[in-house]
Amino acid sequence: MVIVSVIGILIVLAIFGLITGFWCYYKTKNKNFDKYPQDTLEEDDFFDGLSSMPARFTYSALARATKDFSTKIREGGFGSVYLGLLEDDTQLAVKKLEGVGQGAKEFKAEVSIIGSIHHDHLVKLKGFCAEGPHRLLVYEYMARGSLDKWIFKNSENTLLLTWETRYNIAIGTAKGLAYLHEECEVRIIHCDIKPQNVLLDDNFMAKVSDYGLAKLMSREQSHVFTTLRGTRGYLAPEWITNYAISEKSDVFSYGMLLLEIIGGRKNYNQWEGLEKAHFPSYV
């Protein structure tokens, strides 16, 4: 009787030990899902259900391509942009979103919308990374950088752009913006048109960037109310007065940009006199 009892106790202990061992193994193997369980699983389902998505990169691959994010190109919306180089010598611009909470939500918006957009005057999204807490976007590399480095008198580049080049940049930017407003399945309001968000390739062809985080509106809607987003000097009056925002707000910002391209001076300069500090007052 005693022997039977001992055997029974040993069996119970053995079963308990096996259950404990499997539980510890599962927790160790899935530690990332414990920290970001619902978010990660929902995003995987979200990405699998999308059509025409760009390439999906692992975080380690992008870390190698950017040499551990050592060369920062510029600061962008919701994160910094780094120079990357693939094994086939293809150059990329890798945008590393900062902040898992808000970044994850905006990341979904960028990938789902930008992945299906193709236009000569919009910076192309070539890939993305959604691995654990990491959220990265991979864009085509624009060799000449942003427009602000080329049109202002105190810019770092000494090359003076010809009027033909300036004209082509203005027209190209307008075409990209018009596509976002009128030709996308989901109408996109950029909300932050400025020289820093117009990028140039080797031939000074202009492409609008940073539009994935813009506010969206369906074709059935004529306007949308939203929180303030933009840059001082380029904001349309309705931003300040809390009126409805529409694509006309982008057109106002484009007008400020156009004056900068023509005039070679910044739209807003606090060091100028009161009348010359802001283009609308100066004009």
Most confidently modeled of 4-13, 153-162, 222-231, 274-283?
153-162
Same domain flag for 134 and 149: no
Active site residue 34: no
Instruction: Among 140, 158, 183, give the residue marking a domain's end.
Output: 140
Tell me 183's DSSP state: I
At 51 the pLDDT is 63
Q: pTM for the full model?
A: 0.74
Q: Are residues 134 and 186 in the same domain?
A: no
Tell me: do 214 and 229 sit in the same domain. yes
- CATH number of the CATH domain containing 59: 3.30.200.20
- Which of 140, 156, 187 delimits the end of a domain? 140
Q: Which of 140, 157, 175 is the last residue of a domain?
A: 140
Residue 38, in any domain of the structure: no
Please count the structural domains in the chain: 2
Backbone φ, ψ for residue 94 (5° rounding): -105, 115
**Sheet of strand 198-200: strand arrangement:** 145-146, 198-200, 206-208
For the segment 246-260, the average pLDDT, to the nearest whole number, is: 91
Q: Are residues 269 and 157 in the same domain?
A: yes
Residues 170, 83 share a domain:
no
Q: Is residue 27 included in any domain, yes or no?
A: no
Q: What one-character-per-residue DSSP string does 87-104 give?
A: TT--EEEEEEE--HHHHH
Q: Determine how many CB atoms are found less than 10 A away from the CB of residue 173.
A: 23
Between the two ends of the chain, the Cα-to-Cα distance in Å is 104
**Residue 225 pLDDT > 90, yes or no?**
no
Residue type, 265: R
Q: Which among 39, 45, 192, 201 is annotated as catalytic?
A: 192
Chain centre distance of CA 85:
19
Q: What is the pLDDT of residue 181?
A: 93
Can you tell me the distance from the alpha carbon of 65 to that of 136, in angstroms, rounded to the nearest whole number? Answer: 13
Domain-embedded: residue 32:
no
Please tell me whether residues 153 and 122 are part of one structural domain.
no
Instruction: Please give the structure tokens belonging to residue 36.
Output: 């970001």
The answer as to whether 111 is a domain residue is: yes
* Contacts made by residues 221-228, CB under 8 angstroms, sequence distance 24+: 221/187, 222/246, 224/189, 226/191
Main-chain phi, psi angles of 69, to 5 degrees: 55, 50
**116 or 155, which is more confident?**
116
The domain of 104 spans 55-140
pLDDT in tens, 30-76: 433 334 445 555 655 665 566 667 888 999 999 999 999 999 998 86
